[in-house]
Chain A
Amino acid sequence: SQTIHQWPATLVQPVGSPLSLECTVEGTSNPNLYWYRQAAGRGLQLLFYSVGIGQISSEVPQNLSASRPQDRQFILSSKKLLLSDSGFYLCAWSGSGTGGNQPQHFGDGTRLSIL
């Protein structure tokens, strides 16, 4: 069966520090991968998605970037964190191919607090 892992679960960082959040998927090949941010009490905002190694699409201009160095690895980064980067970050995967009928499967998230 497929599993998705995110780490760390919780992270406290000072303003201006760098960030690296990692997500890996097991049990499937060539998945579509996604990064979302969930602000407190709000819905999910899609930040990035990837349909293959090195292929990244950005949904929202911001202080963050994403990379996909391996088929089942997705990394969210920042060079300098802002207070507004605080939130709950979720990684998700779906089956490959086009078509919106592929449900997305989520990791347990990383709660990021910026001080």
Chain B
Amino acid sequence: AQSVTQLDSQVPVFEEAPVELRCNYSSSVSVYLFWYVQYPNQGLQLLLKYLSGSTLVKGINGFEAEFNKSQTSFHLRKPSVHISDTAEYFCAVSRMDSSYKLIFGSGTRLLVRP
């Protein structure tokens, strides 16, 4: 079975500061990895995905993530955050060997302060 751990339930940061949101996963098979963002009272929007190739993945809104297979991590980063980045961020994994299921972490609330 797969599991996803987002250790930080909330990350406060000042505007224009860098941020890293941590994601670790556990799986007995190879997985694909995703980051989603959820703004208040909205659905989830795909930020970026790692399927194969370069371990550094760039997404929308200036976010990027790095896949580290040995540490089973997929941390999300942004060099300079804006107030508008305040939202809930979810890491998710799916199995490579034919599965329709996304396994989500419990989410990290990014709170950007002026």
Contacts and interface: CB of A to CB of B under 8 A. Distances in A.
Nearest to A46: B101
Interface in B21-37: 31-32, 34, 36
Contacts of A107: 43
Interface in A73-115: 90, 92, 94, 98-101, 103-109, 111
Contacts of A98: 98-100
B49 A109 contact: no
B43 A106 contact: yes
Interface in A43-85: 43-44, 46, 49, 51, 59
Among A94, A100, A106: residue with most chain B CB under 10 A: A100
A32 interface: yes
A108 B42 contact: yes
B90 to A, nearest CB: 7
10 contacts: A43-B106, A44-B102, A49-B100, A49-B101, A99-B99, A100-B93, A100-B100, A107-B43, A108-B41, A109-B43
A106 B105 contact: no
Interface residues of A, number: 25
A48 to B, nearest CB: 11
Nearest to B2: A100
Given A42-B107, A59-B101, 19 more contacts: A6-B43, A34-B100, A43-B90, A43-B107, A44-B44, A44-B90, A44-B102, A46-B102, A49-B100, A92-B44, A98-B100, A99-B99, A100-B93, A100-B98, A100-B100, A101-B94, A104-B102, A108-B41, A111-B41
